[in-house]
Amino acid sequence: MNNSPQPPGDTSAENRRPIASRQNRLVIAFVSFLAKQSFPTPNQISCISIVFATLGAAALLIWPTTPGLVLCAIGIQLRLLCNLLDGMVALEGGKKTATGEIFNEFPDRIADTVLIVALGYAIQIPWLGWLGALLAALTAYIRVFGGSLGLPQSFRGPMAKQHRMAVLTISCLLGAVESSLWPTQYCLILASIIIASGSLITCYTRSKDIATELEKRRSPL
């Protein structure tokens, strides 16, 4: 791992998703502990997030009743914990690598796709799951595209990653209660609709932000 300081012009620290948990003392202490270990590295933590997402998706598909839904919710939260820790260990822990930007983005897209597509199959509406996954990936593409133009990356919603995973987690927990009382999947179906429609709106809001910033850049002072 490269422990050298961040090079000039590197905006990775600036283009970070705002997360309040980074200020949590327990999280900071855990990050400090991980930074002193040879395993796991930040890139490995990013890859582990895919494992947790896949396990959660598998539970949702194989066991779409109360136990499976609870396990899926746990898998989602562990995935998000990895997403929090990888960046903090890399930046705050001084273990940033040349390939860190790749591992910061690619595992996220895979984890999102696995979970959202699994949701579509769990409710027996596969196309809705694939649509939600496509739109979720598009929100990230638009964010990174704005950054490629020299603009600050926009993490605004209404259906950014943390919002998508919050909707899915809550729907799994509510769905677990629903499953124990009735043989229906209304909570999961509603979650899939919210994720797809909310991601579409997010694509619009982020695209609009980019257009606004480009117009400001072009306008004379």
Top pLDDT among 98 and 45 is at 45
The domains of the chain are located at 21-218
Average of per-residue pLDDT values in the chain: 88
Residue range 133-185, pLDDT digits in tens: 999 999 999 999 999 999 988 888 899 999 999 999 999 999 999 999 999 99
Question: Residue 210: which of 141, 155, 142 has the closest Cα?
Answer: 142
- 183 or 4: which carries more pLDDT confidence? 183
Give the integer Cα–Cα distance in Å for 188 and 101. 33
CA distance 115 to 136: 11
pLDDT higher than 50, residue 215:
yes
The model's confidence at residue 6, banded by pLDDT at 50, 70 and 90, is very low
What are the tens digits of pLDDT across the range 17-47? 767 667 778 878 888 888 888 888 989 999 9
Alpha-carbon distance of 157 to 202, in angstroms, equals: 5
166, HSE (Cβ side, Cα atoms, 13 Å): 8
**Residues with Cβ < 8 Å from 171, sequence gap 6 or more?**
187, 188, 190, 191
What kind and span of H or E run contains 79? helix 66-91
Please give the structure tokens belonging to residue 43.
Answer: 């890139």
| pLDDT tens readout for residues 191-213 | 999 999 999 999 999 999 999 99
The C-alpha atoms of residue 63 and residue 153 are separated, in whole angstroms, by 38
* CA gap 193, 207 in Å, rounded: 21
| Domain 21-218 superfamily per CATH | CDP-alcohol phosphotransferase transmembrane (TM) domain (1.20.120.1760)
So what's the pLDDT on residue 217? 85
- Cα 23 to the chain's mean position, in Å? 19
